[in-house]
Amino acid sequence: MVIRSFVLALIILLFFSGCSDEREQGIVRPEVVTWMDNRTDIIFHKIPKGPFTFGEKDSVIILDYDYYIMKYEVTSQQYVNFLNASYKDGEIWLQEDFIYKHFKDVAPKPSGEYYLTQLGERILFENGQFVVAEGLEQHPMIGVGWFGCHAFCAYYGYRLPNQEEWEKAARGHTGWDYPWGNDIDGARANYHGSGGPFEGGTSPVGFYDGRVYDGFQTKDSPSYYGLYDMSGNAWEYTADIWVESVPFHIGAGGGFVYHTAAMCNNWYRSSYGLPYPLNLDRCDKADGFRVVKDMGNEN
């Protein structure tokens, strides 16, 4: 009986010692409400209106509306599906390996022809259509410019999240440093120096879900509202732009290149290497995105 009691106590101790930050901080995750857009096979999670913690000093901010945001980053296959549909419609064209589209009313830039992305190791053009390089279909779309994100959103009736929407979806009202809690390691995210199996390149979306892949044990690392890859992997555009002498993108979450663990926290923002004079049509190696769908017009 004593031995059994000891074993039971040991099991309980191990269970509670392995508890997540939620249990330690008395935080209970909300029930996730999801919606699937059958046109794009994109899964959205509903983010409810209300207060959340924002920024390094955990300021309390209130959003007075609900919205949907993607569970995962836009994948290469989802983006290629958009390219092929737009190409068929005559809205985009290929010119010297760059994919162009004419834009109107794209403040702060004048109307004109801007490129979305370019062909390379990930996106190819074969037999009159765009294709994803084999094995990268479920990896995030990267090397896409702000105009490339804008075009994808406009085609399907989406938009980019602003900084507040992005951060609320990442951390809710928890005050966490990272989307899942206050610690980070290579079993939770793909960043510069993480030591994971995909370091130096992208990992498939949702890779860090607690399962074992080819002997590599991941830790289940969703955000407060159940979103994945909000730290590391693709660096994610927001809708916000700094405008000084030229426009600068504002992105969040850190990426698999350049960004170390400290740059993958919830409040870190990047603008593609300030103070260099960067433009909105820049397509950098780690640039990716996830989108928002406003409530009330679900198909």
> pLDDT digits over 169-195, tens only?
999 999 999 999 999 999 999 999 999
Per-residue model confidence (pLDDT) at position 269:
84
The pLDDT > 90 percentage for the chain reads: 70
Q: Please give the residue that has the higher pLDDT: either 109 or 268.
A: 268
Q: Is the pLDDT of residue 93 over 90?
A: yes
Helix (H) or strand (E) holding 77: helix 76-88
Judge whether 101 lies within some domain. Answer: no
The pLDDT-based confidence of 285 (bands split at 50, 70, 90) is confident
171 in a structural domain: yes
How confident is the model at residue 110, as a pLDDT?
82
* Contact criterion met (CB below 8 Å) for 174 and 24: no
* Helices and strands in the chain, H and E counts: 5, 17
Per-residue model confidence as pLDDT tens digits over 196-251: 999 999 999 999 999 999 999 999 999 999 999 999 999 999 998 776 655 567 88
Q: Provide the domain count of the chain.
A: 1
* Whole-angstrom distance, CA of residue 191 vs CA of residue 235: 10
Q: Is residue 178 included in any domain, yes or no? A: yes
The residues facing 99 across adjacent strands are 94, 117
CA atoms in the 13 A half-sphere facing the CB of 86: 23
**Residue 17 above 90 pLDDT?**
no
Q: What is the pLDDT of residue 240?
A: 85
Q: What is the pLDDT of residue 258?
A: 83
Looking at the domain assignment, is residue 227 inside a domain? Answer: yes
In the structure, what pLDDT confidence band is assigned to residue 7 with cuts at 50, 70 and 90?
A: very low
pLDDT the model gives residue 11 = 32
Predicted local confidence at residue 272, as pLDDT: 55
Lowest mean pLDDT, pick from 16-30, 82-96, 186-200: 16-30
Q: Residue 73: which pLDDT band, with cuts at 50, 70 and 90?
A: very high
Residue 168, class by beta-carbon neighbours within 10 Å (0-12 exposed, 13-18 middle, 19+ buried)?
A: buried
Residue 134 belongs to a domain:
no
**Rounded average pLDDT over 7-32:** 51
* pLDDT of the residue at 36: 97
299 occurs within a structural domain: no
Is residue 45 one of the residues assigned to a domain? yes
Per-residue pLDDT reduced to its tens digit, 112-167: 999 999 999 899 999 999 999 999 999 999 999 889 999 999 999 999 999 999 99
Ranked by mean pLDDT, which of 13-27, 73-87, 251-265 comes out on top? 73-87
The pLDDT assigned to 279 comes to 56
- Tell me what the pLDDT averaged over the chain comes to: 86
Segments forming the whole domain that contains residue 285? 2-74+158-294
Say what the pTM is.
0.88
Report how far apart, in Å, the C-alpha atoms of 131 and of each of 55, 114, 120, 135 are. Answer: 39, 21, 11, 11
The reply to whether 82 falls in a domain is: no
Q: CATH number of the domain that 199 lies in?
A: 3.90.1580.10
